[in-house]
Amino acid sequence: MSIEVTLLGTGSPLPNPDRAGPSTLVRAGDATLLVDCGRGVVMRLAGVGVLPVALSAVLLTHLHSDHITDLNDVITTQWVMTTAESPLRIFGPPGTQQVVDAVLHMLTLDQQYRLDHHADLDYRPAVDVTEVGPRDTFDVGGAQITVHETDHRPVTPTVGYRIEHDGAAAALAGDTVPCTGLDELCANTDIYVQAVIRADLVKLIPNQRLQDILDYHSSVEQAAQTAARAGVKKLVFTHYVPPLMPGQEDEWRAQAAAHFDGEIVVADDLTTVTAD
C-alpha cells in the first residue's frame, strides 16, 4: 500500500491503562513519520517494530502537553541507539524550537552521564527543528507533506499534515474544530484521522474543566460532517473523550454514520489503516 497509518496512541490527557497518548505512525514510500508524541509513544512504536532510530521525521500538530509529553523519550532513545551523529528531524508550528531547546536542557545531566559512561558516545543529541505554517510543503523520503491551518483556539498556532504518496493521501488533523483549513486538509483524502469527543456524554459530566473542552475539539458528528463535506474515503477516530469503553464502539460509529456514509474506523491502539 502506498500509505499505511497506525494509531499508536488513541488516548487523551485522561490516563487510561489501555490507551497511550496521542500519536500516529505514517509509512509512505521510504518515509516513516511520527505524528505527535503522547505518553507511551516509544513503547507503542516498539509494539509495531519501529524504534525511534528508524524515524524519518517527527511532525507535531501543536504544543499541548498531551501531544508532546514523551518527545523527550523519542529524542533520548533515538540518540542512544545511533552509531554516529544522526539528526532527528522535527517539524512543528512556531514555538517548537523553544520546546525542543527546553527538552534538551532538561536532559543535560542525563546526557553527561551517558557521555561519561560510554566511550563510543562522543556527541550530544542532534535535533533539526523546522517550524512550519499553513501552505508550507516539504518532502520526506518521497512523501509529499503539506501543512494546513487548524482551529484549536486558544491554543495557537495549530496545524494538520496532509501526506501524499503514489496517488494516495492521508490527513492527520490533530485537535481542531471544523474550519476552512481542515476542509482543505481533508479534501478527497483516502484516510482522515481526527481527535473526537462525544459531546452528548461530556455535557452530562458536572465538571467545568471538562465542559471547557467542548468548544475546541471536533465532536463525532462534526468529524463525520467534515469527512462527508471533504469527500473522504475512511474516517478514523482517535483521542477519545470521554474514554471509549469496550462495547461502545457501535454507539460512536452510529453517531458518525448519520452524517457520513464512508468507512468509519473506531480505532484502538495499534490499529492499522491503509489507503486502498
* Choice among 36, 66, 175, 269 that is catalytic: 66
CB atoms within 10 A of CB 39: 23
CB atoms within 10 A of CB 13: 17
* Cis amide leading into 242 (omega within 30): yes
Residue in 128, 141, 132 with CA at minimum distance from that of residue 161: 132
- Active site annotation includes 122: no
Q: Give Dmax (Cα) for the chain.
A: 61
Collapsing DSSP to helix, strand or coil, 217 comes out as coil
CB atoms within 10 A of CB 96: 21
- Please state, in angstroms and rounded to a whole number, the distance separating the CA atoms of residues 230 and 184: 8
Question: What's the grid cell of residue 236?
Answer: 478514523
Strands (E), the chain: 3-9, 23-28, 31-35, 57-59, 88-92, 127-131, 137-140, 143-149, 159-165, 168-172, 191-197, 234-241, 263-266, 271-274
Which residues are identified as catalytic? 66
